[in-house]
């Protein structure tokens, strides 16, 4: 089985401009990656430009304030809290929520260490709901 080549007919500057344009349209980093892969034949932004997508987004001020993977976990936590309000005796969901909140705390600690989240940032179900609902 032949390995697909990572070369693209786009220059690094063109790829960077595409990333900026797609970000300004409101696409998330993962959506930008999928669009670049599927529509423009760019398998990896880092291979094409030498920069990570997060670096490009940060340079234009389009970097999400809460990392995308953490936001996904927060959204799931909000959904589970809503479910538990309607079904307070659902013990499986309570356990799932405990495990999910544990992952949120670990990821929060990691992002604080990396400087992607402010040190004062704290997880709370109410704050998560505000973030997710915006």
* Gap between the Cα atoms of 23 and 32, Å rounded: 7
In sequence order, which ranges of 25-67 are alpha helices (DSSP H)? 29-40, 45-49, 53-60
Q: Which residue has the tokens 């704050």?
A: 127
Query: How much is the pTM?
Result: 0.81
Q: Which tokens go with 132?
A: 């997710």
Q: Are 32 and 53 in contact (CB under 8 A)?
A: yes
pLDDT of residue 8: 61
Q: Which helix (H) or strand (E) segment is 133 a member of?
A: helix 125-133
pLDDT digits (tens, 9 = 90+) for 37-53: 999 999 999 999 999 99
């Amino acid at each position: 089985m032949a390995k697909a080549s990572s070369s693209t007919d786009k220059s690094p500057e063109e790829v960077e401009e595409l990333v900026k344009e797609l970000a300004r349209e409101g696409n998330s980093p993962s959506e930008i990656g999928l669009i670049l892969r599927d529509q423009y034949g760019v398998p990896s932004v880092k291979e094409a430009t030498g920069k990570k997508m997060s670096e490009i987004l940060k340079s234009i001020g389009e970097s999400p304030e809460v990392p995308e993977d953490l936001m996904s976990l927060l959204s799931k936590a909000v959904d589970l809290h809503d479910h538990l309000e309607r079904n307070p005796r659902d013990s499986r969901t309570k356990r799932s929520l405990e495990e999910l909140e544990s992952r949120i705390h670990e990821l929060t600690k990691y992002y604080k260490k990396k400087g992607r989240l402010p040190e004062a940032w704290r997880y709370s179900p109410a704050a998560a709901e505000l973030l997710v609902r915006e």
